[in-house]
Structure 1
Amino acid sequence: MMLRTVVLAVISLMALVSVSEAQQEKIPPSQCQAIAGTLPGATFVRFQLPQFAQATNKDEVKITFVGHSTYQIESPGGVVIATDYNGVYTTPKLPTVVTMNKAHSTHYTLTPDPSIKYVLHGWSDTTGEKAENHVVVGDTYIRNVSTDIRGYGGYEKNGNSIFIFEMAGLCIGHLGHLHYELSDSHYAQIGRLDVVMVPVDGGLTMGADSMSRVVQRLRASLILPMHRFGPPLERFLGMFDGSKFSVSYAEQPVITVSLRSLPKKPLILIPQGL
């Protein structure tokens, strides 16, 4: 009887390991995540991975500010993404993928255009649990890192997400409606970011000082403001050392970026229409 119990226990353990390995196999490898589990001390690397992680000199990503926290991101392969999609700010092209956050109704809609193939929520239907998005669409890999928010009824654990878009060798992050400064674990899950989209409202999300600390810790080459409310934009810009960060205004509505065109000195680029 004891032997039978031991055998059953071993079989059950093997089944659990098998399920765990199967789940891991479904998650594509990320070229943007840190090797180490926490920061500081993590090392960021670029691997030659499957199609969504490889880039050539001809690979360019097109980014257009649409309104509020919505950016249209178009991959070289034609995947069109709309961030913090609410159905009000319409993108120039029908999105293939939309991401949403739930802090306010202006960051999501429960009735998206039925023609949109992928609708990714930054929150879980089970309160407190993390949303898990690991989606490969064409030449693009999309994943999320859950964050806490201040909900209408108070604090809400894992209520929203930072979405990361990996395409053409670039790591592009959208901070969504970020309410709290990030932990070491968050930074490790996010990994390397080349481009980051940042709310600059100065209080509805976080104060300019807190948000600037997050931006500086992420070390992105290109910083794109969004969600402009309240204090003047200059308050946010004033948080950055001019010797370490440049500021410029986009000359065209469409911002074209590639690995080879990333600025050597971090650039805060104000998109047209902000």
Structure 2
Amino acid sequence: MPRIKAFILVAATLFLGSPATAQEGQRPFSQCMAVAQSLPGVTYANLTPADTVSGRVQLAAAGSGEVEIMFAGHSTYVITTPAGITIATDFNGWAGRVSIPDVVTMNKAHSSHFTLAPDERIDHVLRGWNFDQSPAEHHLVVDDVYIRNVTTDIRNFGTMEPDGNSIFIFEVADLCIGHLGHLHHPLEDRHFAQIGRLDIVMVPVDGGLTLSHEGMTGLARRLQSSILLPMHRRGAPLSSFITMMGDRFLVDYVNADSFTISARSLPRQPTILVLKGI
């Protein structure tokens, strides 16, 4: 394990060596993909949780090496990095307490997941699709976070439109955070290979507009993430999704719309974290 940790630290310096990196040019190094590929079949676990009694997520004030994640509504989470970079996922023109994020990601399945007129003060607007229907490809470093995407297909008037959705991955503070977007089909092996390790994953739990609860829970179990964050709650009750996830997952209901997390404070047992407002 010490050799793996050292590898991660060295790898992080390769793509976080400068304050900002344009998307053009050499592709940044992905620690989330590198560790996943070097350890095939491994179940990722944190053996030094902040709360060794319950294994639940430690909620603490943000500090060095900690990432804040806030639920802002529907499929929008706002991620704040240790350097203060704010990212709003599936941004539709509003993002809770952060009106002008530094970065927004979008998907186009419904208008509640994107806007064609984002505020001009937003520095980076990352759409999960291209208007010419070619696959969107993002490799962006902003200060201490590396953002990339994996495209999937979406339903469009009864047919499947290739590459219409993106799973966005945020690599920051030795954490791999993923947002599944408006996912419409099961993932193939190639998708999992492109995603790599995800410590935290944001999962739509509507049970039908995206994937069925059976399909989504199977996918979530295969990802083996430490923290699962529900979103896009429509249709079937959240309890149905939680029940189908099984006893292997703890459920933590938090009376707040945000929490802070670090690589060292990931829970010992995989946890479904239900924030206020879900």
What is the TM-score normalised by the length of structure 2? 0.81
Which of 76, 79, 87 aligns to 1:70? It is: 76
- 5+ unaligned residues in a row in structure 1: which ranges? 1-22, 45-56
Matches within 5 A, 1:41-120: 41=41, 58-120=64-126
> Which consecutive unaligned segments of at least 5 residues does structure 2 have?
1-22, 45-62
Q: Distance in 2 between matches of 1:78 and 1:165?
A: 14
Q: Which amino acid aligns with 1:97?
A: V
Aligned residues: 239
Q: Distance in 2 between matches of 1:152 and 1:109?
A: 20
Give the partner amino acid of 1:238.
Answer: T
Tell me, yes or no, if the aligned pair for 2:183 and 2:210 is still in contact at 8 Å.
Answer: yes
Is contact 1:148–1:157 with CA below 8 Å preserved after alignment?
yes
Question: In 1, distance between residues paired with 2:207 and 2:199?
Answer: 23
Contact 1:35 1:43 in 2 (8 A): no
1:266: how far off? 0.2
Contact 2:227–2:271, Cα closer than 8 Å, also in 1: yes
Which residue number corresponds to residue 130 of structure 1?
Answer: 135
Once residues 143 and 122 of structure 1 are traced to their aligned partners in structure 2, the CA distance between those partners, rounded to angstroms, is 10
Contact 1:40 1:184 in 2 (8 A): no
Return closer, same or farther for 1:158/1:201 CA change in 2, 3 Å cut-off.
same
Q: Percent identity?
A: 55
8 Å Cα contact 1:34/1:188 also seen in 2: no
Aligned partner of residue 213 in structure 1, secondary structure: helix
Correspondence for 1:266: 270
**Distance in structure 2 (CA, Å) of the matches to 1:270 and 1:41:** 28
- Structure 2 contact 43–224 (Cα < 8 Å) conserved: no
Match of 2:233 in 1: 228
| In structure 1, C-alpha distance between the alignment counterparts of 2:266 and 2:42, rounded to whole Å | 22
Find out whether 1:165 has 2:195 as its counterpart.
Answer: no
Shift of 1:155: 1.1
Amino acid at match of 2:210: T
Aligned to 1:248: 252
Partner of 1:149: 154
Q: Distance in 2 between matches of 1:37 and 1:261?
A: 24
Are the counterparts in 2 of residues 34 and 43 from structure 1 also a CA contact under 8 Å? no
CA distance 1:43–1:199, change in 2 (3 Å): closer
Q: Is the 8 A contact 1:35 1:42 kept in 2?
A: no
SS of aligned partner of 2:112:
helix
Give the alignment's Cα RMSD to 1 decimal.
2.3
C-alpha contact (below 8 Å) 2:78/2:95 kept by paired residues: no
Q: Is the 8 A contact 2:155 2:161 kept in 1?
A: yes
User: Secondary structure of the equivalent of 2:244?
Assistant: coil
Could you tell me whether the CA contact under 8 Å between 1:38 and 1:187 is conserved in 2? no
Cα deviation for residue 90 of structure 1 reads 3.9
**Residues 90 and 111 of structure 1: is their aligned pair in 2 closer, same or farther, counting only changes over 3 Å?**
farther
Once the two structures are superposed, the pairs formed by residues 11-22 of structure 1 within 5 Å of their partners are none
Q: State whether residues 165 and 173 of structure 1, in contact with CA within 8 Å, keep that contact through their aligned partners in structure 2.
A: yes
Cα deviation 1:163-212 (Å, max 9, x = unaligned): 00000010000000001110000001000000000000000000001000
| CA offsets 1:208-229 (integer angstroms, 9 cap, x no match) | 0100011001110000000000
Q: Which residue of 2 aligns with 1:27?
A: 27
Q: 1:88 to 1:33 in 2, by over 3 A?
A: same
Q: How does 1:188-227 map to 2 (within 5 A)?
A: 188-227=193-232
- Based on CA coordinates, which of the two structures has the bigger radius of gyration? 1
Structure 2 vs 1, CA of residues 74 and 126 (structure 1 numbering), >3 Å: closer, same or farther?
A: same
C-alpha separation in 2, matches of 1:59 and 1:114: 30
